Structure 1
Amino acid sequence: MTVAVRSVLSGLAVAFTAYLAVGGLLWTDGVDNPLIMVAALALYLVVTWLCVFWNATPSEALAEGARRTVLPAWAAVLALVTAVLVPNATWFAAGPDVRLLSYATWSLGGISALMAIVMVRGRPWVAWSGVIIVTIEASLWIGVPSALALGATGAVVWVGVAQLLTWLMDRAARDTAELTGLQRAASEWLATQDGRRRERRVQVQRALAVAGPVLIRTIESGGMLEATDRTRAVLAEGRLRDELRGPRLLDDAVRTQLEAARLRGSNVTMLDEGGLDGMPEDALHEIRTRLAEALEEAASERLYIRTSPHPEIAVTVVGRSRPVDDPDGEEVVDLWAEIHRPK
């Protein structure tokens, strides 16, 4: 779609500039130097069409999505040179008697069109400089009133309108890019919310599977649970806490070792505090395997399992117990295990 619009605009620019140039060949009276007149026309057409069609790189100053191309610096300089040479050559070639006729003043409209093209191609300072140059030249050759009446005013209007339209198009492109970014962010947010809802549904189903039998047994017994049922309730509570606080650390082997540690009398606390985000599944599997090995022989009264944002350590396992010879004393660390991030 963009290519088609650009082709249409380029075709219109070629047709219009060719129309202006042809006006310089419709001589109603003889000109003093026809070869110079034709050479000026040829130079104008070559430079103008070069400015229309020459490939250019996208402007880095525009927002993403606004891909207006910028005229190369050498082509912009060539356009300024044309603004200097063509009007002077045209009026010189026409001679003093016919300088106010249309085939002698065509260069005013022609250079105005060229500067409008330069403006659209992203060189506003060059375009306005060209307008000033052609206005000064026209004033010197045919006088200020004639220059204003025959095209200098139109040059200012054309280039000004081109700048306004270019600014509006760039702004629309930036707004479109911003809207696209907002839509993308909204889509990502919705996808994240859908993922979280699915994760919550899975956690609820898992919680019902774990706690459901214990709750049913508690209701049936009126809260009068036997020792075995109380143990099951404690284990169910621990499993629920693990599923909610550290789901990325869990697999069947880790769940088995956590339950075994609780059966041995350990109070286990698991916390996923970040640090595993974006880690591939094979790396998580290796971490879980090492965690299960670290828990296999753990006999501490309290076990703390925490993930770590450390660049090298993924999970830390800490065990604390009271000394055997001083049951009422302070807890001491009797287990410290660090699980490194897989290479």
Structure 2
Amino acid sequence: MITVSRGVLVTLAALFSAYHVVLGITSMSAYRHPAPVIVAIALYAAATALSLARPSRIVLPAWVAAFDLAVCIAVPVLVVSQLDLARENGYATWYVAAIGTLMTIVMVRRRNVFAWIGIAFLVVHTLVVAGFAALGALGVIGSVVWVAAAAVVTRALGSMARDASRFARAERQVVEWHAEQEAHVVERQRRLDETYQRAAPMLIRIVESGGMLTEDERAECLLLEAGMRDEIRGRALLDDGVREQVLAARRRGANVVLLDDGGLDGLDEQELRRIHARLAEALRGSRADKLVVRTVQTGSTVAVTVVGLRSSAPDAVAGDRVGPRDALAATSAESEGADDEVELWLEIPRHEDAEAETSKGAGL
């Protein structure tokens, strides 16, 4: 597709407008007095210069459009007052094409009302001073056609620009949707692969034993199920060190819940490694019966909160008295009983230079 730069169009419009000025100057002998015509030429030149200024701004300033309309009214009055329209005046009627050109520029620069008023005044003025036949003889019809063509082309270009914008927006949405779907597929496949690698040995053992598992193997199945649940709910909270400490806590009988609500999205690898190391250290040092690890929404200086609760119930005072099977079968680690006490409270900051971590509880 052939495209023309805005600068080229402005240059062509300026040359065409200058042509009318030259015609007016060279036709001075046809006027009774040159002074009013000189004023008309100056007004037209000034209006054209203002209308073509700042081409990067499509919409013409309202005051410039109003000035152009005033010039459109003044120029025919000044020029015709010095002509005898009963005879052939040749290029002395340059003002007709000049006004048509000026109103075309106004129309192209999105000031439709001013352009239509201006060209309508030219038609009415010509009818009053020269009659209906002069519309064709002086070229008024041609000026009206220019303005009308400019209106049609401008509307068509505006519609094309809007359609192009909608198509571009739709294309971006399709690309984003496609990328999102691909990301979902890749993530789902990765999780399936990880789940298979972790669950395959136990599934083979279940098949080989015909479902007759020992108590230890059943406990391992529960631990495996909890680990797979962590991969879904914990997401960015997990790395190998955190997984190891979570498994160790569950083996000693603790109930551990990991919840990632997207609070770690956008952090770089270095910050994530620091958070994972601090989380693994906290889990290693805690003897709580219930541990809840949760991300904090973006915008907060805190990235992760860790809450550890110790139950004062007789059957759960010592961690080694509660097996993994009993702990994993609990309804929820987030429910706090009346006798639960806080054993661990830790806030891991989002950035390394953030406010110092607040922690309290035994073992920290």
Fold agreement, TM-score > 0.5: yes
3-state SS, counterpart of residue 314 of structure 2: coil
Give the letter for the 1:204 counterpart. L
Corresponding residue number in structure 1 for 2:13: 13
Distance 1:131 1:308, change over 3 A: same
> When the two structures are aligned, how many residues end up with a matched partner?
331
Corresponding residue number in structure 2 for 1:282: 270
Corresponding residue number in structure 2 for 1:55: 54
Distance 1:312 1:38, change over 3 A: closer
Give the letter for the 1:316 counterpart. T
Aligned partner of 1:265 among 253, 276, 281: 253
Unpaired segments ≥5 residues, structure 1: 59-68
Correspondences of 1:1-343 after superposition (within 5 Å): 4-7=4-7, 9-10=9-10, 12-14=12-14, 16-17=16-17, 30-33=30-33, 37=37, 40-41=40-41, 44=44, 47-48=47-48, 51-52=51-52, 54-58=53-57, 69-73=58-62, 75-95=64-84, 97-98=86-87, 101-143=89-131, 146-147=134-135, 150-309=138-297, 311-325=300-314, 332-342=340-350, 343=354
Distance 1:327 1:245, change over 3 A: closer
1:287-309 Cα offsets, whole Å, 9 max, x none, are 22222122113333333322232
1:261-314 Cα offsets, whole Å, 9 max, x none, are 011012222222232332333333332222212211333333332223273443
Whole-angstrom distance in 2 between the partners of 1:9 and 1:85: 27
Give the letter for the 1:51 counterpart. S
RMSD: 3.5
Q: Is the 8 A contact 1:37 1:90 kept in 2?
A: yes
Higher mean alpha-carbon deviation, 160-169 vs 172-181, is at 160-169
Whole-angstrom distance in 1 between the partners of 2:232 and 2:30: 96
Q: Is the 8 A contact 2:6 2:55 kept in 1?
A: no
1:142-187 Cα offsets, whole Å, 9 max, x none, are 2466357644454444323322321221121122112111111211
Higher mean alpha-carbon deviation, 281-290 vs 38-47, is at 38-47
Distance 1:178 1:318, change over 3 A: same
Distance 1:338 1:163, change over 3 A: farther
Higher mean alpha-carbon deviation, 105-114 vs 257-266, is at 105-114
Whole-angstrom distance in 2 between the partners of 1:145 and 1:335: 102
Whole-angstrom distance in 2 between the partners of 1:285 and 1:111: 72
Give the letter for the 2:110 counterpart. G
Whole-angstrom distance in 2 between the partners of 1:254 and 1:215: 25
Q: Is the 8 A contact 1:91 1:104 kept in 2?
A: no
Give the letter for the 1:163 counterpart. A
Give the letter for the 1:134 counterpart. L
Unpaired segments ≥5 residues, structure 2: 318-336, 355-364
Whole-angstrom distance in 1 between the partners of 2:203 and 2:62: 79
Q: Is the 8 A contact 2:286 2:344 kept in 1?
A: no
Q: Is the 8 A contact 1:291 1:339 kept in 2?
A: no
